[in-house]
A and B are shown apart, each in its own frame.
Chain A
Amino acid sequence: MNLAAKAREDLLTALAAVLPADALLTDPESLRPYECDGLSALRGMPLCVALPDTADAVAAVLATCHRFGVAVVPRGAGTGLSGGARPTAGAVLLSMARLRDMGEIDLANRTIRVGPGVRNLAISEKTRPHGFYYAPDPSSQIACSIGGNLAENSGGVHCLKYGLTTHNVLAAEMLDAHGQRLEIGSLAPDSPGYNLLSLLIGSEGLLGVVTSCQLRLLPVPEQTVLLMAAFAEVARAADAVSAIIAAGIIPAGLEMMDRLAIAAAEDFVHVGYPRAAAAILLCELDGDAQEIAGDQERVETILREHGVTDLRLARDEATRLALWKGRKAAFPAVGRLAPDYYCMDGTIPRARLAEVLERIAELSREYGLQVANVFHAGDGNLHPLILYDANQEGQQERAERLGAEILALCVQVGGTITGEHGVGVEKLDSMCVQFTSEELAQLHRIKAAFDPEGRLNPGKAVPSLHRCAELGAMHVHGGALPFPELERF
C-alpha cells in the first residue's frame, strides 16, 4: 500500500468510527449520485460521502477531517445551479441531508427551529395549518434544503415583498472547519458584536457548516389573487413591470416568461398560457379583500396602458396554483426543448429590462443558440436559459461563452453576475469581471478569518487572484468600463 492509499484508509477508518454504520459511502457506485449538483455539466468524484444525522456527528466529521488535513465540501439536496456542492478531488463530501429535525412551532416568537436537511417546502407545509408560512420559496422548494438556501441566500417568487433568505433567518448554529460550534444571531432583534449572520448567509459553505437554523414565520395572507397579463411585445411587458413598482405597488410576486418559455411550460403543464403572446407577466397581490381590490385596479390600469392583449384573474386557489405551477416548472419544461440547457442568473436594474432582453436576443442569434427567458421581473433577476446539445462538437463551450457575455452585460448595465444561484465553480471567471483584485483579496481574508487552513469548500465562490490575472478579464464597475468609447458587445 502506498502512502496516499494508506492515508485514505486511515481517514476512512477514523470517519467510520464517528459515524453510524450506513453513513459512510466509499465505493464508486454509491458515490456516483453525488458527482454533481443541479449543474450537471460540472462533475467530480469525492473521496467519500459522509452522511451524519446529528450536529455532534457533523462536528466529529469536521474534527476528523481537520486532523487529517482533508478538505470538506458541504452538500444539501444538491439542487444548486452553480456547482457549489460539486465534489472536489480528494475532499470529503459532507451531506447534511439527514439532519432533518423540525422543532415545534414557537408561536410566541413566530419562529421554528429546523435542521439544515429539511426541505424548504416542508416548513410551510408544517406551519400552514397554524396560519403561518416560511416566505422564501425557490422554484426548487419541493427538493432543496434549508441549509442550501442559507448557503446561497436563495430567493423565490415572493421575495420582492417578503425578502430573501437573509431577511427571514433569525439565528443559525454553525460549525467551523475544526468542528467548533458557534451560535450566530438570536431571537432578539439584534445580537452583540458583528452582524455575522448576514455574512454567513450566502457564503456558499465556505465560512461554516450550518447545523441548525431558526426561521422567521409570517402569517398566511387573508387572500391572494394572481393576474396573468399577456403582451405582444417583450419591451411593453418589461416597461409595465417598472411602471407597477414606480406607482408604489409592491406585489407579492411579479414574474415574467417569454414566448419560448411560455410554449415549453404550456406543453408541460397545460394550464392555458397564451402561446401567441411574446411575453406574459404573473402578478400576485395579497392582503385583505379591500386592499387587494384597490391594488388590482391600479395594476390593471397600468397593464392596459402598456397594451396588455389578454388579462386573466385567478381568484380561486386551484387556478392560481395552476398558473404558478407552469412558472415553477419552467426550468424542467424548457429543459425538454433541447438535450441540455444552461441556466443563467444575472440581476439588472428593472429600468434596463427591455434593453437587456433585446440584447440577449441578438446574442442568441449571433451564437446560433436558442435562449428562453423566465425570471423574477419584479426584482430584475434574469434567468436566461441557453439551449444546447453537449454531444454536438463545440456547443457546450459556445453556450458557456454566451452565458459569460450575458453576465458581463448584466454588470455593464449596473447589475450583478448572480442574483440567487451563487458563484460556485461556475461563475468564478465572471467574479473577476465584477470585483477588483483588492476586493477579491478582502473576500479571501474574510474566508481565512473563519477557516484559516481553507478546508471548507475550497476553490469555490471567490476566484484566486492568479486565476483572474490569467484570464485577463476586464473589471467592469457600475457600467464604467475602462475605455468606454470602444465597442465591446
Chain B
Amino acid sequence: MDCSAALREQLREACAKGQKLEIRGSGSKTFYGRPVRADGIVDVHEHIGILAYEPSELFLTARAGTPLREIDAALAERGQMLPFEPPRFGAQASIGGTVACGFSGPRRPYAGAVKDHILGVRILNGLGEDLHFGGTVLKNVAGYDVARLMAGSLGSLALILEVTVKVLPRPTLERTLVQECSADQALQKLRRWMMRSTPISASAHYQDTLYLRLSGQEHRVRNFAEQSGGEILDDDRGARFWEDLREQGLDFFCGDAPLWRLSLPAAAPQQPADFGASLWEWGGQQRWLRAVPDPLALRHWAQSQGGHATLFRATPGAAVEIFQELPPPLFALHQRLKAAFDPKGILNPGRLYAGL
C-alpha cells in the first residue's frame, strides 16, 4: 500500500506546527536508541510493497514498511539474498527500520554492512519534502551520497519512504564448523585466516566454542574444513545457530540484564574478563556483553582500542548514555547536518543523541 502522500501531509503539518514526531515501523526495534519525547507518532508500517526486483540487475526496491521476511522470501525464490544478512528482532521487522538502525548480521565482515548495499533512497526530510537520492544502478556519483548517510541515522534526518538495495546470489552451499577453543585462541585463528581468502562467511565464539560458517563451492568448503579440523554440524543445526545468534535468541541473550555491544578493530585483544560475560562474532569485531559491572570502564577500554561501546538493550531509566559521546567539533557538525535535513527538529528528536 502506498502511504507516501499521507505521510508527506503528516510531516508537512507537523513541520508547520513544530510538532515533534516519533517514526514507527513495526516497532521491532523500539528498544534501540534513546527514548524519544514526541508529540505524536508517524506510522510507516502500512507503507509496504516490493516495487521493483530485477535479479539480473542485482537490485531490489521496497517501501520502507515492507517486512524483511517478505523481501527474503522474494529473493530466496530467485536464489538471491540480502548480503548484509540483517537481524529482524521481530516477525514484522521492516527494511526501513533496518536501514535506519544500520543493523547488519553475521555476514557483515565478509560481505559488507547495510550501508555498503544501499543504492538509493526516497525520503521525506523534516520539511516534508519528497526526495530521491542514488538510484538502482551500482555506480552513481551524482550528488552527495545521501542514500548511504541514512544507514544508522535512526530517523533523525529523514523519514525513509523507499530503499533500493544491492542483492547478491546466495551461496550454493553453507556448512557450519565448530571447534573447541578459548576466546583468545579463536581470535588468533581468525586473524590468521584473515590473511588469505577463505570460504568463511560468519564467525562467532560462544561457550568455549568457535563457530564458523563456510560458504561457496563444495571443494573449498570441504578443503577448509579438513585442513582446520573440527566438527561439521548438520545443516539444520548450523543454520539455526546463526539465526539464533543474529536474532539474539541464544541463552546468552536471555534475561533482563542490559546488553552491551562493542564494535572494534580486528586487532583488538580479548577484553578483560571482569568486564562481564561475553560472546563475540564478526571475527571478534562485534562483541556482546551482559552484566557489565562498570560500563564506563568498558566504554573507556573500547575507545582506547579504537572502537566504541553501545548500550544496545538498556533497562528502563538507565543512567548511562546509549551511544558513545562524540568529540565536540564532530557533534557540532552532526547538529548542523540535522538542521540541514530537519530544521524544525521534528523527526525522532533525541533518539540518537540529546540535541539531535
Contacts and interface: CB of A to CB of B under 8 A. Distances in A.
Bound pair (A, B): yes
Contacts of A416: 135, 137, 139-142
Given A166-B145, A199-B148, A347-B138, 4 more contacts: A186-B307, A351-B54, A442-B125, A462-B143
Interface residues of B, number: 79
B30 interface: no
Closest 9 CB pairs of A and B: A198-B148, A246-B56, A108-B267, A187-B265, A248-B169, A419-B139, A445-B340, A449-B336, A188-B307
Interface stretch (A64-72, A152-160, A356-364): A152-160
B266 A110 contact: yes
A70 to B, nearest CB: 22
A458 interface: no
10 contacts: A189-B108, A195-B150, A246-B55, A349-B54, A380-B138, A434-B143, A435-B142, A438-B129, A438-B131, A442-B125
B326 interface: yes
A291 B216 contact: yes
Contacts of A183: 327, 330
Interface string A113-145: 000000000000000000100000000000000
Interface of A: 106-110, 131, 152-153, 155, 159-160, 163-164, 166-167, 176, 180, 182-183, 186-196, 198-199, 201-203, 207, 219, 221-222, 242-243, 245-246, 248-250, 287-288, 290-291, 294, 347-351, 376, 379-381, 414-423, 427, 431, 434-436, 438-439, 442-443, 445-450, 452, 461-462, 477-478
A415 B59 CA distance: 13
Given A195-B102, A245-B58, A294-B217, A163 B143 contact: no
A245 B131 CA distance: 30
Contacts, number: 235
Contact of B57 (A349, A422, A436): A349
A188 B267 contact: no
Contacts of A243: 56
A187 B219 contact: no
Interface in B174-217: 191, 194-197, 216-217
A461 B58 CA distance: 28
Contacts of A450: 333, 336
Interface of B: 54-58, 79-80, 102, 108-109, 112-113, 115-116, 125, 129-133, 135-146, 148-153, 157, 168-169, 191, 194-197, 216-217, 219-220, 263-267, 282, 285-286, 306-308, 310, 323-327, 329-331, 333-334, 336-337, 339-341, 352-353
B116 A376 contact: no
B112 A245 contact: no
Given A167-B116, A194-B337, A107 B139 contact: no
Q: Which among B116, B157, B326, B333 has the greatest number of chain A C-beta atoms within 10 A?
A: B333
B265 A194 contact: no
A193 B149 contact: no
Given A194-B334, A351-B56, A449 B339 contact: yes
Nearest to A178: B329
B350 to A, nearest CB: 14
Given A192-B324, A431-B142, A448 B137 contact: no
A182 B267 contact: no
Contacts of B341: 442, 445
Contacts of B168: 250
Given A155-B139, A435-B143, A163 B116 contact: yes
Given A188-B306, A248-B169, A152 B141 contact: yes
Contact of A193 (B58, B334, B336): B334
A189 B107 CA distance: 12
A349 B137 contact: yes
